[in-house]
Structure 1
Amino acid sequence: MTLLLPRADGTTRAYEPRRAPSRVAPAGSSPLTSRTVFSAAHVVADPYADVSPDSPAAVDWDATLAFRRHLWAQGLGVAEAMDTAQRGMGLDWKGAAELITRSAAEARSVGGTIACGAGTDQLTEPADLPTVRSAYEEQLTLVESSGAQVILMASRALASAAKSPDDYLETYGHLLRQASEPVILHWLGPMFDPALTGYWGSDDLDAATETFLEVITAHPDKVDGIKISLLDPGREIALRRRLPDGVRCYTGDDFNYPELIAGDDQGFSHALLGIFDPLAPLAAQAVRALDTGDTEAFRACLDPTVELSRHLFQPPTRFYKTGVVLLAWLAGHQTHFTMVGGLQSARSLPHLARAYELADGLGLFPDPLLAETRMKSLLTTYGVQQ
Structure 2
Amino acid sequence: MDKKDIIQYADMLRKYLYQQGMTDFWATLLNTIVVAIIGIIIVFILDYITRNVIVQLFKAFSNKTKTTYDDFLVKSNFPRFVAHLAPWFLIWYLIPIILNDYPKTEKFSLMIAKILLVILSVYIFRSILRTTKNYLRESNEKFNDKPLESYQQVLMIFAWGGAIFLIVNLISGFSIESLASLGAASAVLLLIFRDTILGFVASIQVSVNDIVRIGDWITFSKFGADGYVTEINLATVRVQNFDNTYTTIPTYSLIADSFQNWRGMQESDGRRIKRSLFIKQNSVKFLSPEEIEKLEKIELIKPYLDHRERDVKRYNTAHNVNKELLINGRNQTNLGVFRKYADAFINENPAINKELFLMVRHLAPTDRGIPIEIFCFSHDKRWENYEHIQADIFDHLIAAIPYFGLELFEIPSGKDFEGLKG
TM over 0.5, shorter chain: no
Question: What TM-score, normalized by structure 1, do the two folds share?
Answer: 0.20
- Name the larger-Rg structure: 2
Identify the structure with the greater helix proportion: 2
Higher relative contact order (CA 8 A, sep 6+): 1
